Amino acid sequence: MNPFIVYAIALKMLLGDRLKYFGLIAGIAFAAMLISQQAAILVGFTKQTGSFIRDTAQADLWIMDPQVRFSQDHIPLREMMVHLVRGTPGVAWAVPLYQGFVRAKMPDGTNFTLILVGLDDASLTGAPPLMVEGQLTDLRRDRAVLIDAGTSAKKLLMKNGGKRPMQVGDSFSIMDHDAFIVGSYRSRTSFFWEPVLYTTYSRALGFAAGGERNMLSYVMVKLAPGADLEQTRQLLQQRTGLLARSNPEFIRITADYILNETGILMNFGFAVLLGFAIGALVAGQTFYNFTLDNLRHYGTLKAMGVGNRTLAAMLFLQVGVVSVLGYGIGVGMGAALGLWMSSAGLAFSMPWQIPAVTAGAIVLVSLIASWFSLRRVFALEPAVVFKG
Amino acid sequence: MHVTPPPSAPAVFCRQLSKIFGSGDNQVHALRGIDLQIEQGELMMLVGPSGCGKTTLISVIAGILDASGGECQVLGQDLNSLDASARTRWRGQQIGFVFQAYNLIPSLNAAENVAIPLLVQKMARREAIEQAAAMLQRVGLADRRHALPAQLSGGQQQRVAIARALVHQPRLVVCDEPTSALDHVTGHQVMELLREVASSANRSLIVVTHDARIFSFADRIAHIEDGMITHIAQQASSLDKESFHVA
């Protein structure tokens, strides 16, 4: 039988029953949307966990306590480590960085917790990538701090009478020390809810001083030109007894820790699997029902001399058409939903791998659906052909 | 390789044909040693109560089912000697089917439905549609060639099905309850059409039916009960119609 005619008949059979046709596409689209959207949220969360490290990526290595589990995990180091690192061969420069959770109070009395980042006083290395208001050097002014312009409306809202977010020019207190907002910056969306404020390293220590003798969180290291990362890392670790992690490594351990400890990986992984399973069930069941409804016609074609291979080609074409359309609609809907979620500040990221993996999942769903249908078509029974 | 039987050879020759479904305690003997010979050009009716094995018998004769035992030669071809795909090809070339529920593909129009057996033989679409239209004209539906099955009456659908069964000039036409879904007048018209259009010197018809009103169209009537042929009436007029169960 001419393959084009076979395909034309198969498509006419498929399009002939509009309700089932749309049902099939909806089933596949639903599965594709669930899989791609949930996976994109998971990737979005994963990316957010490393946003601080990415925003502070001027260094090649981060020197930290071996027990540090993620980027906001403050386990203090001795101040002298900065000097020890600076004196290590292969190091171009090394600067201290403070990062920790501290309590603060807004002008109207609203209490809140913030993540305070202290940058090297001299170089201000580790600063956020983009200033919105003011200059980075304004941090050298008395009591100066920078706030995140992107999140201040939500995270720095004065709830006890102020009824407005804190802004440049406002004064407030950090651990009972006066602070003054001199500028704002824009950064990547963070996984953590707490607002991130930047100041100088020495001022951060002053703000956060709570009786601890050592306050240094990290030493950020830039390699000298031509220095080998592995060799320098080994040397630094030998000299300091600390751990030296590259940016990608630090991003990875942070993501691993947060995703696993918060249950996000389990929850969203389960949601992706659930999307796949529900999609497979819906699409499989709908297609199987479509096949059952048309079994008499497949049987008639087979009785009239159409072979199994041709019937299989017809089925695959039918499944293929609904799968491609359903996949496109589903991933499109997932992406549209993601755009809306992103604009609302929620985690969503859809790299090309997600549509690719979703396509693979949909192919699998389609093959499962086809398999059960093919079994019925191949096992042609006279009762089906003759009695319908 | 398909065998063309000599003019005097029977169209269907079955000897001690048996068919068993299932195994062990669940075995069902659908056919128990059927002996049947149908001549070329003959219209043979198979009658009997529901579940007696009529459909199983025509399924074996048409090459849809394998026999469990015995011998079955159809149009000179021993069906047991053909593998599944060869049998499918043979069936497409040699057998025409008329079904109780017409089995027209709802999304294809009348001409496209009729053209399917020709398309299966790899005929070009335009030629197949032309021949289908000519066959529709023979069954009195020339003006309905573009109609979808849902737009046709039951009698018209069955006429389309008859056109489809004959368009590729099969040597054997198998009809399963062709009139059971039709009223008396339409059923009579359909049988007249089958007699007129389908019958020829070397084309045989097997008609499975419960419909005693169409017995008169048969050359012979085989009565099947519990998987066995109990008797064959040589002429329809000599048969006691009251002896048949009508389910």
Average pLDDT, chain A: 86
The structural domain count of chain B equals: 1
Mean pLDDT for B134-162 is: 92
Q: Indicate if the alpha-carbon torsion angle A19, A24, A27, A28 is positive or negative.
A: negative
Is A387 in Cβ contact with B105 (below 8 Å)?
A: no
Helices (H), B77-183: 84-94, 110-120, 125-138, 154-166
Nearest Cβ partner for A307 among B88, B93, B95: B88
Higher pLDDT, B133 or A268: B133
Q: Are A65 and A77 in contact (CB under 8 A)?
A: yes
Q: What is the pLDDT of residues B202-231, one digit of tens each?
A: 889 999 998 888 888 999 999 999 999 999
Q: Are B222 and B44 in contact (CB under 8 A)?
A: yes
Higher pLDDT, A269 or A345: A269
Is the ipTM higher than 0.90? The answer is no
Separation of alpha carbons A283 and A29, rounded Å:
9
Q: Is the pLDDT of residue A3 over 70?
A: no
Mean pLDDT for B24-38 is: 90
Q: Is the pLDDT of residue A240 over 80?
A: yes
For residue B183, the domain's CATH number is: 3.40.50.300
Helices (H), B154-225: 154-166, 184-193
Is A383 in Cβ contact with B117 (below 8 Å)?
A: no
Higher pLDDT, A275 or A187: A187
CA distance A293 to chain B (A): 11
Chain B residues inside the 8 Å CB shell of A5: 119, 125
Could you tell me the pLDDT band of residue A1, with boundaries at 50, 70 and 90? low
Q: What is the pLDDT of residues A159-176, one digit of tens each?
A: 887 778 888 999 999 988
Nearest Cβ partner for A388 among B65, B92, B101: B101
Separation of alpha carbons B96 and B174, rounded Å:
6
Q: Is the pLDDT of residue B13 over 80?
A: yes
Is A305 in Cβ contact with B93 (below 8 Å)?
A: yes
User: Which one of B2, B31, B50, B103 would you mutate to disrupt binding with A, by most A Cβ within 10 Å of its Cβ?
Assistant: B103
Nearest residue to A166 via CA among A190, A138, A146: A146
Could you tell me the pLDDT band of residue B235, with boundaries at 50, 70 and 90? low
Percent of chain A with pLDDT over 90: 34
Separation of alpha carbons A341 and A284, rounded Å:
30
Is B91 in Cβ contact with A303 (below 8 Å)?
A: yes
pLDDT of residue B243: 45
Mean pLDDT for A213-241 is: 90
Stretch 141-200 of chain B: residues touching chain A, C-beta under 8 Å: 164, 176
Q: Is the pLDDT of residue B245 over 50?
A: no
Mean pLDDT for A67-92 is: 89
Stretch 24-63 of chain B: residues touching chain A, C-beta under 8 Å: 55-56, 58-59, 62
pLDDT of residue A380: 66
Q: What is the pLDDT of residues A111-129, one digit of tens each?
A: 999 999 999 999 999 888 8
Nearest Cβ partner for B65 among A5, A16, A382: A382
User: Which one of B109, B116, B118, B158 would you mutate to disrupt binding with A, by most A Cβ within 10 Å of its Cβ?
Assistant: B116
Q: What is the pLDDT of residues A44-76, one digit of tens each?
A: 888 888 888 888 878 899 999 999 988 888 888
CA distance A288 to chain B (A): 18
CA distance A13 to chain B (A): 6
Chain A residues inside the 8 Å CB shell of B100: 386-388
Q: Which helix (H) or strand (E) holds B233?
A: strand B228-233
Residue B125's closest chain A neighbor by CA?
Answer: A5
Residue B34 domain-assigned (yes or no): yes
Q: Is B162 in a helix, a strand, or coil?
A: helix
Average pLDDT, chain B: 86
Helices (H), chain A: 3-16, 18-49, 51-55, 80-86, 152-155, 201-208, 229-240, 247-262, 264-303, 308-343, 353-378, 382
Residue-number span of the structural domain to which B206 is assigned:
12-237
Mean pLDDT for A335-346 is: 81
Nearest Cβ partner for B100 among A297, A301, A386: A386
Could you tell me the pLDDT band of residue A330, with boundaries at 50, 70 and 90? very high
Could you tell me the pLDDT band of residue A153, with boundaries at 50, 70 and 90? confident
Residue A59 phi, psi dihedral angles, 5° rounding: -90, 160
Q: Which of the residue ranges A49-63, A203-217, B37-51, B127-141 would you say has the lowest mean pLDDT?
A: A203-217
Nearest residue to A32 via CA among A328, A337, A350: A328
pLDDT of residue A385: 75
